Every structure is written in C-alpha cells, then in structure tokens.
Amino acid sequence: MPGLFTLSLKKALIAPFIVVFLCSVGTILWLQKQRYDDLALDVSEKQLSSLTTNVVQSLDIYLDKPMTAVKALAHAIEYHKLYTPNDAAKLEDYLRSSFATLNIQSPQIDLMGFGGEQGEFLAMRAAERSAEKVKFSLMVKDSGTNGDLLIYADDHRGSDILGNIAAYDPRQRPWYLPIRRQHQAAWSEVYTNADAAQEVTISALAPVFQSDARQRSLVGVAAVDVQIDTFRQFLAGLNVTHQAKVYVMDAEQALIAQSDSTTILDDLGQRRLLTNSKDPMVQRISQAIESLASKQSVLLTHQDEQTQYIMVSHYQTNTQINWYVVVVISAADLMGDIPVVSQQTLWVSLLLGLSGMGLGIFVLNRLTVPLSETAKAAKQIANGSWDYPLPKRNQITEISQLLQSFSAMRSHLQASFHALREQLVRDNLTKLYSRQGFIETCDSLKVQQNGCGAMLLIGINQFRDINDSLGHHSGDVLLTIVAERLKAWVLTESGVLGRVGGDEFAIYLPNLSSQEKLCYQHRLKQIFAAPFVVAGEPLSLNISIGVAHDCDNADMCLRNAGIALSHAKTDNNRISVYTPVMAEQSKNKTRMLTYLRHALDHDLFEVYFQPLVDIRTGAPFGAEALLRLRDQDGKFISPLSFIPLAESSGLIKAIGQHMAADAMQTVNRAIEQGTLPPQFQLHINVSVIELSDHEYIGQLQRLLEQTRFPAAQLTVEITESQLADNDPVILANMTKIKALGVSIAIDDFGTGYSSLAYLHKLPFDSIKIDKAFVDRLTRDNADDSVVAAISKLSRSFGFSLVAEGVETQVQAELIRMLGCHHAQGFLFSPPLPLEQWPSLHWQQEPNLEPTT
C-alpha cells in the first residue's frame, strides 16, 4: 500500500540489535562512571582525612615545642629569679645559653625573649641561618638604651648595632596585653613582624611572675616566636609526597600558611583573605568554613578542569588557637592510574562490544541477504522475468531449504507458465500461431525491422458448408493441409503465419516491396489452385483475401484486414485492400445490425402493401408486401440498405418469418372483413439465404397452417440475380414450395443474366420485369425492347408477367400493347399500409380479373 511505512527485513532486524547494543553500552558507561565517582569520593575522604590528621599532628608538634619552651622560660625566670628590674644581665646570659640549644632542636623558633612590666625588652633572635651554624642577634631595650630597641649584630652588647627601633615599648605590642590580662600561657594572633623582614609570625606567650614573701606578682611576659614560613616548608613537603595542597588559615579566613611557594601576603603586605578571593574554588572553601559550625570537618568536591576533593577541618587548641586546615587533592592525583585503567577497560569492552555487533550484523546479513534476494526474485517473477540469480546454498539449513524450494518452485512455475503460454500462442490443430501469438510475433518483428509490410487475412469461402457436408474431422484435415501449403510459402518470404479464426489464416509479410505487393494475390491463387485431397476426395477451395498495410500495430492491422476480408467476401474479385471508408462502413453495419436485432425484439418492422394491378382495368388483383423500418428519428431506412446486412448476418430468416406472418394475417383479416376480394393475391419477398435453409419449407408450411392463408393466393418472389449460383438445395426447395401450392415469381428479371437453359430448369409461375427495362421503353423502341422479347417468351413458356416500376401512363400503355397485362408502380400506387389503400374503395369493381 502506498504511504504505508515499510522497512526492509535487514533494517527491521539490525535496528533493534543496534539499539539494544547502544543502550547496554550507555548503561555500562553510566554505571562505571557512577562507581568511579563513589569510589573517588570514598578514597578521597580517607586520603584527605589522613592528610588532615597528618597536618594537624604536625601542627601540634610544631606548636608544642615553642609553647613548652615559653612556659619553661617563664618558669626559669621565676624560679631562678632571673629578672631584676632594669638589669637584664642575668636574664641575658640565660637567654643566650638556652636559645642556642632550643634553636638547634626546634629550628622554627625564631626568637626567645622577655618583655618586662617596666617596659624593658630582651630577646635573642636567630638572625642568619646557614648550613653549619646559626648566628644569633641580641635585642635589647632597657634603661641603658635610651628607650630604643637596639638590635645587635651578634649575641652580646659589644657587637655592632644593626638597627634600632625608637621608643619601643613591649607593653604596647599586641602580644603583651592579652597575657597580662589573662595570666595564662597562650598563642598570640598571627601578625606580621614590625621589622623589615616582615615575616609572618606567631608567638607563644607566658606570663612571668615574681614571688616574694608577700605575694606573687606579674613582672612581664615571656615570648617565643615562630616564623610561620618554616611551617610552609613542612606543608610543601606534603605537597610533594601527596600532591595535596594544604592551606591553614585563622578564624577570619586570613591565610597563615599554604603548601605552595607563593606568598600568603597581598600587595599591601596583609595576609590574604579567603573571603576576598575571586577563585571559585577558594570561594567554595570560604563558604564551607562559614557553614562548618559545630562539625569538625567537611568534605567537598569542586569541579573545574578536573574534580578537586577538598576537606575543610577545624583546628583548635586550649591555647587560643582557632584555625582551619584545608586539604585539596585533585581526582587525577587521588586516583592515580585508576581512571586510565578503567578507561582502557572501557575501550576494550567497547571494542569487544563493537566486534560482537559486527559479528551479529554479519550473521544477520547472511540470514537476510538470501531472504531479500528471494523476495527480489519473486518480484521479478511478478514482472515476468524468470532468471534473477539466486544464491544456491546457505550455511543455515532452513534458509538453504527455502532457497532450494523456491528455485524448484520457480522452475515448475516457469514450465507451467510456458506450457500455458504455448497454449495461448499456438493453435492446437495446425501448430501455427494463434491469434494472440500471431499478434505478439508480428509486433516484435515490426519493432525489430521498423518496417511496414503487409497483413493478409485469408478466409475460405463456404467453409461451413464443407464442414457440414464432409464432417468436422475432414474439415480439420483440410485446415491442416491449407496450413502446410501456406507455411511452405510464408517461410520462404520470412513472414509470419497464424490461424486467427476457424477458417481464417493471417499472413504478415514484413519485407514486401510495393511491386511484390501485386504478386501475393497471384501467388495465393496458385497455392489454392491445386485441389486439396481429403479422405481420398479432391476438393477445390475458393478464398477471399483482406489486405491491410501500414498499421501501427499488429492487432490493428489484423482488425483492418478483417474488415477488408468482409468486403472481399461480397466482392467479385474476392480481394479487398483496407481503406478507412471500410472501417466506417463496417462501423455503420455493426450499428445497423444492432438496430435490426432491436427492431425484431421490439416489433418495429412494418408491412406496406403495393398493389399489383391489371392494366386493362386499372384494378388491383393483389399486392406485394414490402418491409418498412424507421430509424430512431422516425425516418424510413431503405430495405436496400438493411436487407443485405440482414442476409449476411442470417437475421433475414427471422425477419422474413415475421414479415410473412404479418402480411398473411393482415391480408387474411382484410379478406375476412370483406375489404379485399377473396381471391386477393399476396406476393412476399424471400431471400435466397432463407430459401437455401433446409428448414424453410417446414416453416412456410407451418405459417400457412397457422394463418390459414390459402396457399394458392400466395406468391414467393425470388430475385433472379440471387439464383445465379447453381445451388441444388434452392432448386429442391423451389420444387417443394410449388408442391405446397404456393406460386413462385422471378423478381427483378433481366438483371441476373441467367441463361435461358437454367431458367428453364426452375419451377416458377411468373416473372417480374425489372424497372430498368420498363424505364427504357419508348414508343420507338417498344417492339425491339427486352420487354417485348420477354413477353414473347412468356407466351411460349406459359408464365405470366408483371412489369415493375410503372410510373407513367405511356409506360402503362406500351406494356399493355406489348402484351403484359399486369403491372406495379407509382402510377397506380406507392407501397402503403393496407388501411390507407385507396383501392379498398374499388373492391366492389365487378370486372376484376384473375391472373392469366
């Protein structure tokens, strides 16, 4: 059905296959990804927790030493009474000796010092560090420094002064006040050093007390400075070993240390604030810190070019530290080879899947190709082509069977088809082409040769009679002999020969030159000249030939030749060449024939009567019944145009019967009614076609019985020209008609050229002299006229005469003068329906004479 969605078998099978494959691959990929993500999250949590713990522990250790050191310093000052206001000498010695050991143990410790309540300040600082030794620098502010903080190049007061900070008061420094207030060891805020190095520093601080007998009072604050930069180096180590980035920041989210080498200070020398960063990852970390609340730590993932896993943790101590530790590790670093391996696994499985699919498609192809080929072969058969190549074998049993069965089926079908076609294109009896075969062969030949040639249609005259008289078997034998003779000739002419009807042979001569066209008639006559011997009896055949030239196709050509043949059968030469006029005539004939059948079925024929009069009295003694038929418009159609057609079609038998019955009944009724005299003579016209029918006499006899029409008052008119053929049946029937008591008139006498000898054999009662002879009569030629001669004959042979077509008084007189007493013609009356007869008024005429 057009418009309906159709799919080839191959696609129908392969499409779902591919869809399932793609779905499976997609699902596997998705699951793999999901599993990978879960795994990454799990691993990252463990890794980051462990790293965080590592960092926190390191911080603990890192910060523990300075805190312990500052507490120990505070304790030593109090215990050993190292502090004397405004005299730093004792403390200076202590610091010098203990800082050296401390700095070697804990290199992160940068400074160890003491700020007193009196505003003095004493500290030892690691000034230069080299591989072998550390150079210490003394920092002093006391009564001897004039309020400045002096920084010596070495660890004693005699050395060069590297710099001084004027009006330095430790009590004003941010690390001092909180300790003074809370009396407890603690860490300072992270701050940037006041000196030129601007190092980020945090100080472990402890209050220093002095106790005497009365009380224990605060005398200053001990400080141990740690340079955060040293912690950065530790973090950088982690970065190298774990590819992790670590950030440490205070409660305000200002960076304290980070694992990479960049500075934590901004352009203004301030520590960078996470909250100020534009980096989306840092922003995310900042938000996480804000939302951390009571939780110790949180795990985040951040997606930029690749996934980053981030752990943000709180770092708090009871020594005032409230920091955050952030560890960041990228998925690539975290998972190492795992993604590559899983990708490889994926590629391998994809490759395997694809090869599986390839194999599947290959197998499906092997399955579907023979099926679609078979379907194509079936389609080709439907289009009339039998030789579409089919694969012979297939590895799959069922398909192999299907292919073999289909092949066998096709062969059988082809054989039956050919047999059937043979029946269609060959005539069984003569083995010549049938009509169908003939047309097809001619057409193919015509196309090949692009020529015109001639089409001859040969009909055997009176073949039906031969068939009837010799029997059908002999008829068949005769046809085969005719076929053989024609074949011998046609073969030499490279023509095509076929039997296209019972007794019709068609010959197509494609290569006929115009000169040769004249010869074939002669050649055919020769072929049929020799008698045909059937059942030991020689038989001579007459043929008619219809010829057609230059037609578009064989079918048309054959039809035209058929029309020409119909013509030829009525032609004296027995040969006709088709002209378009013939086709028109033939069409008219067909139309007329249809109308005649219709008229017979619907009783449209009428009977007119033309009086036969005695010239001497002018009174009618009888009438000739003449057939009348009107066309659809009510106009009369001449019997001369439809009688021959009725004769050739055989319809005349029925029409004749109908007409005779009608005429006899009408006249009988008129006689019974007394409008016509009792001895009224009725002439009816009978065609030789009717007369040559074996059943005619029986029918006439029944008609006479049924109508009770007196046979003695009936005359049958038979046209002389139709009697020309010396037919024994006609002669016998004429005798039988006479035997019934019915008279016979020879109609249109003088036109048929019958020999007197033959006429003499026929049983007839009267002769009707044809109008042509009456017309030629003049007063001058009357004595030498044909009418005069016939009149003489009638007297010696003893038959009566009727002159036809008398139109003038002169003709009437001359005829009468020549001894012919009966006449018919317009002078007396045209043919009329009986009720319109004026002669009905003459019926009472006393001197009505019977025919002589």
Contacts of 758 (CB under 8 A, 6+ apart): 726
* CA distance linking residue 36 with residue 806, whole number of Å: 130
Q: Are strands 149-152 and 134-141 parallel, antiparallel or unpaired?
A: antiparallel
Q: Which stretch binds ligand C2E (CB under 6 A): 330-338, 672-680, 694-702, 805-813?
A: 805-813
* CA distance linking residue 205 with residue 321, whole number of Å: 12
**Distance of alpha carbon 93 from the chain centroid:** 109
Pick the binder of ligand C2E from 643, 730, 737, 820 (CB under 6 A): 643
Site map (CB under 6 A) of ligand C2E, residues 567-606, x = contact: ----------------------------------------
CB nearer to ligand C2E: pick between 806 and 834: 806
Answer whether 550's CB lies under 8 Å from 452's CB: yes
Q: Of 110, 106, 157, 113, give the one whose Cα is nearest residue 135.
A: 110
* CA distance linking residue 271 with residue 256, whole number of Å: 7
In the region spanning residues 556 to 575, those forming contacts with Ca ion, defined by CB under 5 A, are none
The helix (run of H) or strand (run of E) holding residue 726 is none
CB nearer to ligand C2E: pick between 750 and 825: 825
List Cα–Cα distances, 116 to 94, 155, 192, 218, in angstroms.
16, 20, 22, 9
In the region spanning residues 528 to 547, those forming contacts with Ca ion, defined by CB under 5 A, are none
Question: What, of Ca ion, ligand C2E, none, does residue 726 touch, CB below 5 to 8 Å by kind?
Answer: none
Q: What are phi and psi of 101, to 5 degrees?
A: -65, -45
CB nearer to ligand C2E: pick between 583 and 600: 600
* CA distance linking residue 58 with residue 511, whole number of Å: 120
Q: Which stretch binds ligand C2E (CB under 6 A): 34-42, 282-290, 521-529, 635-643?
A: 635-643
Q: Of 779, 819, 788, 823, give the one whose Cα is nearest residue 805.
A: 823
In the region spanning residues 663 to 692, those forming contacts with ligand C2E, defined by CB under 6 A, are 685-687
Task: Give 472's Cβ-side CA count (13 Å radius).
Answer: 2
Question: What, of Ca ion, ligand C2E, none, does residue 640 touch, CB below 5 to 8 Å by kind?
Answer: ligand C2E
In the region spanning residues 820 to 849, those forming contacts with ligand C2E, defined by CB under 6 A, are 824-826, 831
Question: What, of Ca ion, ligand C2E, none, does residue 811 touch, CB below 5 to 8 Å by kind?
Answer: none
Residue 450 CB, nearest distance to ligand C2E (Å)?
50
List Cα–Cα distances, 648 to 589, 593, 643, in angstroms.
11, 10, 9
Pick the binder of ligand C2E from 178, 639, 644, 819 (CB under 6 A): 639
Q: Which stretch binds ligand C2E (CB under 6 A): 120-128, 168-176, 636-644, 706-714?
A: 636-644
Q: Which stretch binds ligand C2E (CB under 6 A): 348-356, 516-524, 776-784, 802-810?
A: 802-810
Q: Does 503 bind ligand C2E (CB under 6 A)?
A: no
* CA distance linking residue 402 with residue 9, whole number of Å: 16
Q: Of 210, 222, 196, give the one whose Cα is nearest residue 109.
A: 222
Torsion of CA 825, 827, 831, 834, to 10 degrees: -120
In the region spanning residues 796 to 815, those forming contacts with Ca ion, defined by CB under 5 A, are 804
Residue 791 CB, nearest distance to Ca ion (Å)?
17
CB nearer to ligand C2E: pick between 659 and 801: 659
Q: Does 626 bind ligand C2E (CB under 6 A)?
A: yes
Return the sign of the alpha-carbon dihedral for residues 832, 838, 842, 848. Answer: negative
Q: Does 747 bind ligand C2E (CB under 6 A)?
A: yes
Q: Is 191 exposed, middle or buried (0-12, 13-18, 19+ CB in 10 A)?
A: middle
Residue 760 CB, nearest distance to ligand C2E (Å)?
23
CB nearer to Ca ion: pick between 62 and 764: 764
Q: Does 78 bind Ca ion (CB under 5 A)?
A: no
Residue 791 CB, nearest distance to ligand C2E (Å)?
19
Judged by CB under 6 A, the number of residues near ligand C2E is: 24
Judged by CB under 5 A, the number of residues near Ca ion is: 5
CB nearer to ligand C2E: pick between 481 and 600: 600
Q: Does 685 bind Ca ion (CB under 5 A)?
A: yes
Nearest-5° angle of CA 644, CA 647, CA 649?
110
**Distance of alpha carbon 214 from the chain centroid:** 118
Q: Could you list the residues that contact Ca ion (CB under 5 A)?
A: 685, 717, 747-748, 804
Q: Could you list the residues that contact ligand C2E (CB under 6 A)?
A: 610, 626-627, 638-640, 643, 656, 659, 685-687, 717, 719, 747-748, 804-807, 824-826, 831
